[in-house]
């Protein structure tokens, strides 16, 4: 392999790759046709959102894994490793911690209540206003994020293939996602199973084949000399968004919302009949997600070893580092034809599954929160299901129009990521306040939510301004071009060994000037902590909630264990469904009759 500054020709599918893409598209269309016209026995709200609540552990586990295999994971994580090193590996630690918290604190609550919408919990625990505010935040953030999901791969492949073809592919992806979302949760799980295996092949094969010219040992030496092997970076600088504490602490907040509380995850975890099976699904998905994250990290190291002495951006071969993975695949396909097609197919499948899951969750929340309360009680389940399918079509059309008509979504991508982080942290704090703190009330929840939004919004706007003025920069490891034109990886290793230390000493450092230089990754964490710090004291100041009159199912098991005044209850029967004690009823009637007799006598 020879690094050079010559522009690589755009990649185009060969016959075999077109056949693979056709097979993949045929599988997607087959799933659509099956769940639209053949399997019609789940045309109810429960069937549409939860697949009948009798799905298998394997299918739900693979569906949970696929929900994390977005284009950001497959395209963004390798670039992060290439630019800033392997500190992202610590996300495995945070994922284990998040899975444990989900299984112990959040999952028991939702599995006992069996709610159609996760936001219905907020009405049971606090008030209708709290539920409405949270649902609006969720829908707005998801509608902003939805066009970004197909736009990321479109942007990455735009300059290495035909621009019109990339846009058409993105719209086809959105159309398939919409039709899959109409098929309900079972269709989404089906495409998720396909996505998991394609993503595994699309990530592992390029890494293994790229190692053949250099070997694992040489790749490791190049990465080590280039300071890419980072296992523990305790940098306290708040603007440094890849330190150990950011990756473990801040990412835990974002993932805790996504795994434990988001509508799409709650739907999947409630689709199995028992809580023990749901916990098994969580454990299996945790292992699978960690495996895919580590494969993406390894792919990033391989790409760095491939371009260590000749950065494609500095030499003008690409315009953005987001196009690094397609550029690498373009190089690799000259040695191993067909490998680029496999990766692009995995990106297509992952993007399709992610969009379908988002569309399905948006339609479910909009229907349950804003349409169903105004419908007559006599409305049958089939009519409700048809309304949700119509909502899926409308959301899909919105996404397709934005992707097709918008020239550039870079600014929207940045803003949408920030807004999603802010709302994720705020909603996580709101749910945690109700599930963990028994004395929290509606006043504390609303005040904590609103003040958290103000605080995080202020930080987000300030950070945007800091980025525009240059006060906030995301500095990475040094990149060089002194190895361009060298014939083998020995020259690259020599250049990296001599040039990187000097470049590292030349990196500018800036002192912490203001709160606006805090990394964007901290926004969810700051939002969740703000809700708790404001909501708990405000609840005590405005009057503690009456725990005795509440359904104990709204609290996590740890909180319920401290509520000694609440009656004991069975693990499976809710308070409302428990049959009354006959002796208690007779005693109450006897007391009432005695009181009535005394009144008559007087």
Q: What is residue 85's predicted lDDT score, i.e. its pLDDT? A: 80
Q: How confident is the model at residue 335 (pLDDT cuts 50, 70, 90)?
A: confident
The confidence score (pLDDT) of residue 513 equals 45
Predicted pLDDT of residue 102: 92
The alpha-helical segments, DSSP class H, found in 275-408 are: 275-307, 324-333, 339-366, 381-405
| The pLDDT value given to residue 106 | 92
What confidence tens digit (pLDDT) does each residue in 169-210 have? 677 777 877 777 788 888 888 888 888 888 888 888 888 888
Mean pLDDT of the region 511-525: 59
Q: What is the mean pLDDT of the chain?
A: 77
> Cα–Cα distance between 442 and 450 in angstroms, integer?
12
Helix, strand, coil distribution of the chain in percent, nearest 5:
75, 0, 25
Q: Which of 354, 317, 315, 359 is nearest to 48 (CA)?
A: 359
Three-class secondary structure of residue 44 per DSSP:
coil
Residue 508 has pLDDT above 60, yes or no: no
With a cut of 70, say whether residue 506 has pLDDT above it. Answer: no
Residue 572 has pLDDT above 50, yes or no: no
Distance from CA of residue 12 to its chain's centroid? 31
Angle at 148 between CA 473 and CA 192, to 5 degrees: 120
Q: What is the pLDDT of residue 419?
A: 79
Give the separation between CA 268 and CA 189, rounded to whole angstroms: 9
Q: How confident is the model at residue 430 (pLDDT cuts 50, 70, 90)?
A: very high
As a whole number of angstroms, the distance between CA 498 and CA 512 comes to 31
Element (H, E) at 183: none
User: Which whole number is the average pLDDT over 247-264?
Assistant: 85
Confidence of residue 577 (pLDDT cuts 50, 70, 90): very low
Mean pLDDT on 58-78: 84
Identify the band that residue 431 occupies on the pLDDT scale cut at 50, 70 and 90.
very high
Kindly provide the b/e burial profile for residues 206-242, where b requires at least 16 CB atoms within 10 angstroms of the residue's own CB.
Answer: bbeebbeebeeebbebbbebbbbebeebeeebbbbbb
CA atoms within 13 A on the CB side of 498: 8
- b (16+ CB within 10 A) / e for 339-357: bbbbbbbbbbbbbbbbbbb
Across the range 16-21, mean pLDDT stands at: 75
CA dist 156 and 63 (Å) reads 25
Size of the chain in residues: 602
- Cβ(269)–Cβ(282) below 8 Å: yes
pLDDT, tens digit (0-9, with 9 covering 90-100), for 282-328? 999 999 988 988 888 888 888 888 888 788 888 877 777 777 888 88
**Does the pLDDT value for residue 504 go beyond 60?**
no
92-151 pLDDT, tens per residue?
Answer: 888 899 999 999 999 999 999 888 888 889 988 888 888 999 999 999 888 888 888 887
> Looking at residues 505-512, what average pLDDT do you find?
42
Looking at residue 474, its pLDDT comes to 63
Distance CA 10, CA 7 (A): 9
| Residue 31: both structure tokens together | 């799933």
Quote the Cα angle for 317-320-326, to 5°: 70
What local confidence, expressed as pLDDT, does residue 357 receive? 86
Q: Tokens 């391989």 belong to which residue?
A: 302
Q: Of 249, 267, 294, 289, nearest to 118 (Cα)?
A: 267
pLDDT score of 2 more than 60: no
Say how far residue 19 (Cα) sits from the centre of its chain. Answer: 31
């Amino acid at each position: 392999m020879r690094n050079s500054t010559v522009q690589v020709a755009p990649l185009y599918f060969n016959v075999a790759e077109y056949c693979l893409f056709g097979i993949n598209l045929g599988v997607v269309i087959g799933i659509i046709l099956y769940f639209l016209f053949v399997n019609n026995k789940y045309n109810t709200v429960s069937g549409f959102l939860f697949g009948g609540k009798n799905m298998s552990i394997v299918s739900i586990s693979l569906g949970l894994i696929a929900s994390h295999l977005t284009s950001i994971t497959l395209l963004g994580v390798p670039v992060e490793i290439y630019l800033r090193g392997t500190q992202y590996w610590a996300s495995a630690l945070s994922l284990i911690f998040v899975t444990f918290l989900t299984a112990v604190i959040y999952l028991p609550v939702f599995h006992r209540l069996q709610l159609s919408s996760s936001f219905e919990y907020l009405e049971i625990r606090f008030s209708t206003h709290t539920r409405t505010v949270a649902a609006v935040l969720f829908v707005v953030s998801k509608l902003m994020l939805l066009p970004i999901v197909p736009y990321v791969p479109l942007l990455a492949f735009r300059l290495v293939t035909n621009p019109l073809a990339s846009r058409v592919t993105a719209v086809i992806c959105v159309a398939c996602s919409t039709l899959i979302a109409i098929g309900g949760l079972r269709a989404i799980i089906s495409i998720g199973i396909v996505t998991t295996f394609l993503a595994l092949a699309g990530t592992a094969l390029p890494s293994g084949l790229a190692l053949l010219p250099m070997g694992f040992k040489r790749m490791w030496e190049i990465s080590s000399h280039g300071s890419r092997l980072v296992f523990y970076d305790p940098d306290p600088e708040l603007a440094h968004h890849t330190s150990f504490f950011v990756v473990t602490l801040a990412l835990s907040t974002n993932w805790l919302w996504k795994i434990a509380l988001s509508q799409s995850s709650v739907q999947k975890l409630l689709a199995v009949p028992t809580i023990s099976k749901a916990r098994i699904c969580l454990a299996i998905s945790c292992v699978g997600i960690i495996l895919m994250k580590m494969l993406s990290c390894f792919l990033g190291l391989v790409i760095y070893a491939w371009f260590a002495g000749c950065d494609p951006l500095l030499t003008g071969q690409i315009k953005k580092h987001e196009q690094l993975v397609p550029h690498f695949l373009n190089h690799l396909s000259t040695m191993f034809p067909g490998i680029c097609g496999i990766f692009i197919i995995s990106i297509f499948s992952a993007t399709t599954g992610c969009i379908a899951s988002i569309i399905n969750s948006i339609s479910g929340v909009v229907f349950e929160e804003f349409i169903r309360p105004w419908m007559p009680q006599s409305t049958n389940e089939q009519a409700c299901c048809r309304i949700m399918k119509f909502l899926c079509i409308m959301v899909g059309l919105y996404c397709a129009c934005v992707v097709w008509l918008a020239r550039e979504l870079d600014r929207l991508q940045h803003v949408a990521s920030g807004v999603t982080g802010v709302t994720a942290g705020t909603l996580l704090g709101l749910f945690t306040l109700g599930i963990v703190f028994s004395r929290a009330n509606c006043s504390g929840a609303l005040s904590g939510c609103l003040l958290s939004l103000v605080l995080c919004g202020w930080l987000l706007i300030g950070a945007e301004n800091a980025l525009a003025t240059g006060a906030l920069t995301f500095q990475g490891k040094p990149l060089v071009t002194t190895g361009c034109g060298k014939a083998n990886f020995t020259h690259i290793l020599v250049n990296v060994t001599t040039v990187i230390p000097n470049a590292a000493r030349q990196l500018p450092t800036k002192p912490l000037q203001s709160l606006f230089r805090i990394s964007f990754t901290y926004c969810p964490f700051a939002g969740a902590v703000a809700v708790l710090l404001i909501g708990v004291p405000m609840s005590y100041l405005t009057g503690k909630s009456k725990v005795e009159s509440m359904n104990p199912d709204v609290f996590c098991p740890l909180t319920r264990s401290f509520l000694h005044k609440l009656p004991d209850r069975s693990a499976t029967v809710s308070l409302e469904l428990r049959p009354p004690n006959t002796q208690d009823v007779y005693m109450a009637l006897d007391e009432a009759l005695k009181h009535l007799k005394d009144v008559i006598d007087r």
